[in-house]
Chains A and B, each alone.
Chain A
């Protein structure tokens, strides 16, 4: 920062006037730049920041892909071709159970990261295990739903509406399944390798992924199921 010898108050005034929202500065004013903070003065940011931010960008692109499936569903919603419509395939009690399982799993996932920050291996593993079991329950409920629909002859090839329905809900279910495999891998890595730096980076990314899946599910249970059952 500047070393003009101005009184601190005037220096602070100048800073506020030049950059009222502190976009280019730290919250704590004129101090030596932090190494690895990625503000230009000291080279690239820490690996932990770069990894987390890169995964955030991937998640946003994943959500853009989901938005394409949402758009297809919105467009194909009335294209039932004389077959079953949204009202015929929605079972609200099952959707409520699925929503509860996924929300609780998001919660236990957050708790597992709290335990990770406290470097407590036992509780990290316990909460990750609960998260995984809740995710498994979610996938099981969804499979059961698909099987019961298929047994009534309601399959993706029946109409444009059903194609978009199975595409959107199935894509989310596939994501949860893959995330469950990732979770099992992470549990093994935490057990065998401990809280090494790169393991913590992976746990951060896994947490982000799991929470993002819950955010997508909010869109699905609102737009596909609740709005399908009512309107």
Chain B
């Protein structure tokens, strides 16, 4: 007997409201809920993307602050994507998803910040290239 025959609930694939669910998946089956989430996500993303492209071209923002503004806008938009497109929430049925995400963010932070930090120090402490060239035995 196959798995499908004795458990019709598994066949429909419908999720129970009281069980965990993976990102991008929710017990909600009504299409309206998914469409509303997509609309909200698209709306917020358009606003944030437009703000990013505007910030680069405008002269209203203090020059050195532009990269900071861009990074803040990018992180905000990633948050919008996570919430409205990937359906990651803070609910108890999402604990596993959020914990995995937090670990991923930690690793990404270590790799990026660590690389920049170490390589900057290396560049800083390295002998200038001209002197290095002179030391080569030709």
- The answer to whether A and B assemble together is yes
Task: List 9 tightest A-B contacts by C-beta distance, closest first.
Answer: A52-B22, A37-B19, A114-B34, A110-B38, A60-B104, A71-B115, A222-B74, A118-B31, A67-B108
Docked-complex contact B81 and A45, CB < 8 angstroms: no
Point out the residues of chain A lying under 8 angstroms from B111, CB to CB.
64, 67-68, 71
Contact with A along B89-112 (1 / 0, CB 8 A): 001110111001101100110011
A177: interface (CB < 8 Å): no
Given contacts A64-B104, A71-B112, A92-B53, contact A48 B15 (CB under 8 A): yes
Q: Given the complex of chains A and B, what is the CA–CA distance between A113 and B38 in angstroms?
A: 10
Residues of the A chain whose Cβ atoms lie less than 8 Å from the Cβ of B85: 106, 110, 211, 214
Number of interface residues of B (CB under 8 A): 63
Chain B residue nearest to A123 (CB atoms) is B31
Inter-chain contact A110/B37, CB cutoff 8 Å: yes
Known contacts A45-B19, A226-B52; is A75 also within 8 Å of B116 by CB?
A: yes
How many chain A residues touch B (Cβ–Cβ < 8 Å)?
71
Interface residue A46 (Cβ < 8 Å from any Cβ of B): yes
The majority secondary structure among interface residues of chain B is helix
Docked-complex contact B19 and A92, CB < 8 angstroms? no
Q: Return the contact of B31 from the options A52, A67, A114, A214 (Cβ within 8 A).
A: A114
Binding site for B on A (CB under 8 A): 21-23, 25-28, 31, 34, 36-39, 45-49, 51-53, 55-57, 60-61, 63-64, 67-68, 70-72, 74-75, 92, 96, 99-100, 103-104, 106-107, 110-111, 113-115, 117-118, 120, 197, 200-201, 204, 207-208, 211-212, 214-215, 218-219, 221-223, 226-227, 229-231
